[in-house]
Amino acid sequence: MDLLSDWWKQTEPKQKMAQIIVFFMVFGFSTMITGASHGIPMGLGIIYILYDCIQKRSLSGFAMPGKLWLGIVVFLSSVVLSSVLLGDKPSIHTAFQYVYWFLPLLIMFYLGRQADVKYAAVGGAILSLFVSSLDMVHVNYLLLQGQKVALPVPGRLGAFFRSPNVHATLLSGVLPLVFCAFCDKKIRFPKWFVALQVAVIVLGLWSLWKTGSRGGMFGFCTGGIFVFLAVYFRERIWRVVFALVLTGAILISGYVVFGVTPVSHGYDDTTRLRMLSFSYDMWKDHKWLGVGLENWRKEYLGHYFKEDVVRKAAMRYYMAQLARTNETFSAEKAAEVQQAALNEESRHEMPHNAIAWFFATTGSIGGIGYVFFVLFYFYALLKKLREQPGNWMLPAGLWIFLAMTLHGFLDIGVVDKGVARLTYLMLGLALSYACVENTAERF
């Protein structure tokens, strides 16, 4: 434990406090065990910032090249603007909630400018993976013993009984950080710490598999492949971008046609394609302002959900099953399959695609704002990675941003409060290290 004792003796109290807060913020936001697990450290972060700003009589801790703020400002402003222009009060309220979810980025960025917090962030990520994976191991053990466990999705696990897809996204928000930490010589020096890293990575990858989230695996793997190529082919980076697009197209095709997970994903994987089609119809009728952030489900069921299309798809699925099993056709069974399809596809609250969500609910104004946000920070982090080859926090930040964003193209993404806050938290961490290459110059 010399590492911890040396840190305690050598670190100034102010920097120590910033690092402790970051440790618990990363842990709390990536596990979400209770509201207090992320609310308390965020509150402490706000108190720290207020005290520091008052003491310095300055807001210099937020100093960042203005262009690096552009992506988030354009995105959130476009969402609020479209909602205000639409005039739907519930949607306006939700739009301002989206702005509130952005608060962890500001806190993490400020703390990252006060102290070298990367080791604290890695420690929080390791504890998060360990605790959440142990919970999944426990539930998996109960299932193997034949005990009945109420799961959010049958056959798929999520730590602390949350949605498997949400948990897969949270895993994508911390696993890359622990992976990239191997590049740090200080972390590699204590052998026991390296063994701990390896152990939690194995547990984290097993947990990701047990979520059964193809979007989570797609985002994590594609992001990792791209970052690896970007690091080793920095001077030919745009060839790597092309390779990413090609790889993504192949993997998405495999996702749609085959799937790569240990459990079934429902009666018909074309469900989400139909939701995208219905959301596209929704956008065509409300091109500029959308239907409102609180109105997607109401509009979906009231005007765009096509029962005949769903019934035909269910019948095709049923007939394909008969062909595989050589069973005889049953009108009663066919009706059951069709009704199950209608029940399944009418229960959704959003189209399981963040781009479709923002275009349908906030129109072209909010949709373009979200696309700009994604492309802006992808380019900004990629550019900084080229400029600062020795800063391992940048590939970690880019990997996390890609993994969580790509998963959002196949699921909920930043539409979910917990996912959004962790995305912003990690983006703030990466941006704090993007501002200055030499950490000795930071404090």
> What confidence tens digit (pLDDT) does each residue in 110-135 have?
999 899 999 999 999 999 999 999 99
**Positive or negative, the Cα torsion across 346, 348, 349, 355?**
negative
CA 386, CA 398: separation in Å to the nearest integer?
12
CA of 92: how far to CAs of 96, 275, 299, 358, 435, in Å? Answer: 6, 24, 17, 14, 33
pLDDT bin (cut points 50, 70, 90) of residue 270 is confident
Spacing of C-alpha 103 from chain mean position: 16
Q: What is the mean pLDDT of residues 217-223?
A: 89
Q: What is the DSSP letter of 153?
A: B
Q: How far apart are CA 392 and CA 335, in angstroms?
A: 56
Confidence band for 254, pLDDT divided at 50, 70 and 90: low
Q: Give 221-255 as a DSSP string.
A: HHHHHHHHHHHHTGGGHHHHHHHHHHHHHHHHHHH
Tell me the CB-side half-sphere exposure of residue 155, using CA atoms within 13 A. Answer: 8
Residue 86 has pLDDT above 80, yes or no: yes
Question: Where residue 437 falls among pLDDT bands split at 50, 70, 90?
Answer: low
| Residue 185: pLDDT band with limits 50, 70, 90 | confident
Residue range 75-89: average pLDDT? 97
With a cut of 70, say whether residue 251 has pLDDT above it: no
**Quick count: other Cβ atoms within 10 Å of Cβ 244?**
20
Q: Is the pLDDT of residue 256 over 80?
A: no
Is the pLDDT score of 248 beyond 90? no
Name the burial class of residue 34, with classes exposed (0-12), middle (13-18) and buried (19+) by CB atoms within 10 angstroms of its CB: exposed
Asked whether residue 27 is domain-assigned, the answer is yes
Domain span at 51: 2-264+389-441
Q: Is residue 75 part of a domain?
A: yes
What is the CB neighbour count within 10 angstroms for residue 111?
27
Share of the chain above pLDDT 70, in %: 88
Query: Mean pLDDT across the stretch 204-224?
Result: 90
Greatest mean pLDDT among 28-32, 186-190, 316-320 = 28-32
Please check whether residue 250 lies inside any domain of the structure. Answer: yes
- The verdict on residue 201 lying in a domain is yes
The angle at the Cα of 211, spanning 272 to 208, to the nearest 5 degrees, equals 115
Dist CA 50 CA 56 (whole Å):
10
Averaged pLDDT score across all residues of the chain = 87
In this predicted structure, the answer to whether residue 443 has a pLDDT above a threshold of 80 is no
More confident call, 101 vs 5: 101
Length of the chain measured in residues? 443
CA nearest neighbour of 16 among 106, 124, 120:
120
Per the structure, how many domains does the chain have? 1
Residues 215 and 257: their CA atoms lie apart, in Å, by 14
pLDDT at position 12:
87
Show the tokens assigned to 374. Answer: 């994604």
Residue 91: inside a domain: yes
Span 275-334, pLDDT tens digits: 999 999 999 999 999 999 999 999 999 999 999 999 998 888 888 888 888 888 899 999
- Give the pLDDT confidence score for residue 269 in this predicted structure: 64
- pLDDT confidence of residue 265: 45
Rounded to whole angstroms, the Cα distance separating 247 from 256 reads 14
CA 21 vs CA 108, 344, 345: distances in Å: 9, 42, 42
> Residue 188 contacts by C-beta under 8 Å, 6 or more apart in sequence?
182, 194
Residue 338 amino acid letter: Q
Across 11-20, 282-291, 428-437, the highest mean pLDDT is recorded for 282-291
In this model, does residue 258 exceed pLDDT 50?
no
Whether residue 380 is predicted with pLDDT greater than 50 in this model: the reply is yes
Given a cut of 70, is residue 18 above it in pLDDT? Answer: yes
pLDDT of residue 27: 97
Asked whether residue 416 is assigned to any structural domain, the reply reads: yes
Give the per-residue pLDDT at 441: 41
Confidence tier at 438 by pLDDT (50, 70, 90): very low
pLDDT higher than threshold 60 for residue 398: yes
What's the pLDDT at 104?
96
The pLDDT score that the predictor gives to residue 268 is 54
pLDDT value for 237: 56
Higher pLDDT, 171 or 271: 171
